[in-house]
Amino acid sequence: MVPSPRVIWDGIFQLRGRQPNPPADLEIFEGVITQHPEYAGMIDVGCGSAETISELARRHPRIRFLGVDASGYIIRQDRRKARNLPNVRFRNDLLPKLGRVQDRYEIVSCMHTLHYVGQIEYALKRLFRLVESGGVLIFNYPNRFYYFDRRRALTLKDPSAAQNREYVLNRAAFEPLLSRRNLLTIRKIGRVLDRAPIRLRRFSVYNIVLAVTNRRNMRAS
Ligand SMILES: C[S@@+](CC[C@H](N)C(=O)[O-])C[C@H]1O[C@@H](n2cnc3c(N)ncnc32)[C@H](O)[C@@H]1O
């Protein structure tokens, strides 16, 4: 039986230990904030060790940030690290339901996280429902190139490695991808959200960052 994402990710973060990561994708969010000085809130779903929102919170004290992650272990660390940042909070919760998140935000980000989520259409719709009128959802997504890459990386040449805890956890984390349950295309995302995604960045064939704006609500408001 595949363990729950909470168990998998607590295990992965405990194994990784304290690895300070540089804030990823910072310039993307800086760009959005610069273009929209009126934006007041950002939620980062699958925030992990929260380097990006912590740095954004330091630079933009008037914006409130919420980091959400499946791992209670990493959320406890994030809270400790950001204790001097009054405009950032954290919550332990899970896609696709995100039952503990009520508010809406002008920026909703979900970076390098949908790759691990099984009910992908539900997750996309849930993320988009968090977007405030006039706001934007920014994310990258699991595509077939990423599937081939992970399948190759996680194909065991030495069967004894199947006992290796890191391998077991990684394999479990990527189960939705390896079973091809959560593969997406830009066209499919457009269909699910009923909005045409905008391509913000193409770092590689695996990593294409999309933006979907909540413009219809903007017109309606
Ligand atoms: C590869 S890390 C990415 C972290 C960060 N967003 C970044 O870009 O560096 C994936 C993160 O997604 C979280 N995660 C995995 N499945 C999740 C789910 N169903 N709901 C919420 N978070 C999840 C993991 O705990 C982990 O922190």
pLDDT, mean of residues 86-90:
98
In this structure, the strands spanning 198-202 and 41-45 are unpaired
Based on C-alpha coordinates, what's the Rg of the chain?
Answer: 17
The per-residue pLDDT for 216 is: 59
Instruction: Give me the residue spans of the domains in the chain.
Output: 5-220
Beta-carbon contacts of 31 under 8 Å, excluding residues fewer than 6 positions away, are none
Answer whether 140 contacts ligand 1 (Cβ < 6 A): no
Nearest atom within ligand 1 for CA of residue 71: 25
pLDDT, mean of residues 159-188:
93
- CA gap 178, 116 in Å, rounded: 10
Answer whether 75 contacts ligand 1 (Cβ < 6 A): no
pLDDT, mean of residues 27-55:
97
Is 161 a residue whose pLDDT tops 90?
Answer: no
Answer whether 197 contacts ligand 1 (Cβ < 6 A): no
Is 22 a residue whose pLDDT tops 80?
Answer: no
CATH 3.40.80.10 fits 5-220, yes or no: no
**Of residues 22, 50, 44, 46, the one with CA closest to residue 32:** 44
User: What is the full DSSP assignment across 36-73?
Assistant: -TT--EEEEET-TT-HHHHHHHHH-TTSEEEEEES-HH
Instruction: Give residue 129's Cα distance to chain centre.
Output: 15
Distance 201 CA to ligand 1 centre (A): 20
End-to-end CA distance of the chain: 47
